[in-house]
Structure 1
Amino acid sequence: MEMRAFPGDRPYRVTRKGEVKKTSWPGGTTSQLFILPGDADLGKRDFTFRVSTASVDVERSTFTPFEGFDRIIMTIDNDLALSHDGGEEVTLKKFEPHLFDGGAETRSRGKVRDFNCIMDRKTCRGEITAMTLARGSVLYPRKGNYGAGLELEIIYCAAGRLTFRYGETEERLDQGDVLAIDHGLMDSRYRLSNEQDQPCDLVVTLIRSVPPVQVARQAPHEP
């Protein structure tokens, strides 16, 4: 089944910091930056993937399990220690991504702000990259992958200001704003740049659909 991120043929969407859905959990707050489909319910586990940031305001916490999902977490300020199913702790530094099984019993140690991606492993794969754009830097003036299956790029402005240009359109993203690009609908080049005096920190999530498994069938033997 073909999945599209936005209504109609629109190739991108900007979500401002004030428009982001926020919820509380026992250890802090969560800001949902993107979920597909848009009307999915996190509690019902009926989503393909979800991207969010969260504050962890307690020294120790236990993650909510997501059976059948893969997760990537990245701290965007302090160190974060994680253990899965009682195993050895892994300590993450700022902007270091960590992929793990969402169904594992995961415990954390450390007060941080983190970035999360939860993916239904049957339907998609993802990766997270953090980068800093210096003043005057331009990030990959590139063309989309028009006509592709699900191929989404979620760009979170963690600090500074980002300028996005697509055709005659220009958008400016401030700290906390989110730019989502559907590469399957992006039919011309776009560019991202930092035109401010201060560095711009970005966290970029790339999501691709998993092709359906093709089952080879043997031809019946002739009698």
Structure 2
Amino acid sequence: MGARELERVDLGEVPYLDAMEDMRGWVERRRAGTIGDRLVLLTHPPVITYGTRTPADELPRADSPIPLVEVDRGGRATYHGPGQLVGYLVLNLRERGPGDIVRWVENALIEAVGSLGFATLRRDTPAGAQSLVGVWTPRHDKLASIGMRIRGGVTSHGFALNVSSDLDEFTRFTACGLPDVAMTSLAELAAERGVVAPGEAAVRDAVARAFGAER
């Protein structure tokens, strides 16, 4: 992809449905050319979201206390909540030039996490297998999930990076359609090494730098 600068937009905790309404507006404005490409960084209260192709048996039980929302992005079910940094990307791909947008997002997150002292990698998906899109540790625990939509040449949705997430919440359902995969967080990886975990502000800055996003 071409190297075009992104605008960085920092928000606090935003209810998921409110953020989706805001994102529809950002996408319309990007198509109209009244805003440039942007990276929106925020968090959500607890919610489980799922793409339209998610099988019912991968979703939480009906008595789950966490709201469940069907969304128009790619990917299967995932959890958003406190301690997780969510990044929404609103990009005009027709202006940005050819390239694999998902791989670009994976590589940017790997660069960001690497700058904080944690080695991660991307994985190719074998033919016929469930998608391995995302950011992984060398032992194949999943640190970040990616789910995007492209319509009219403009992207929406983005990624979720576990900073200090409650990982037990991912056990309420089949995360990302991968029943045998363990989710992890930067806090858990830091604890395993006996080092101080990076705070949210440091993670936001590292992610923004890796994506070339300025305020």
TM-score for the superposition, normalised by structure 2: 0.29
Q: Which structure ranks higher in relative contact order (CA pairs < 8 Å, sequence separation ≥ 6)? A: 2
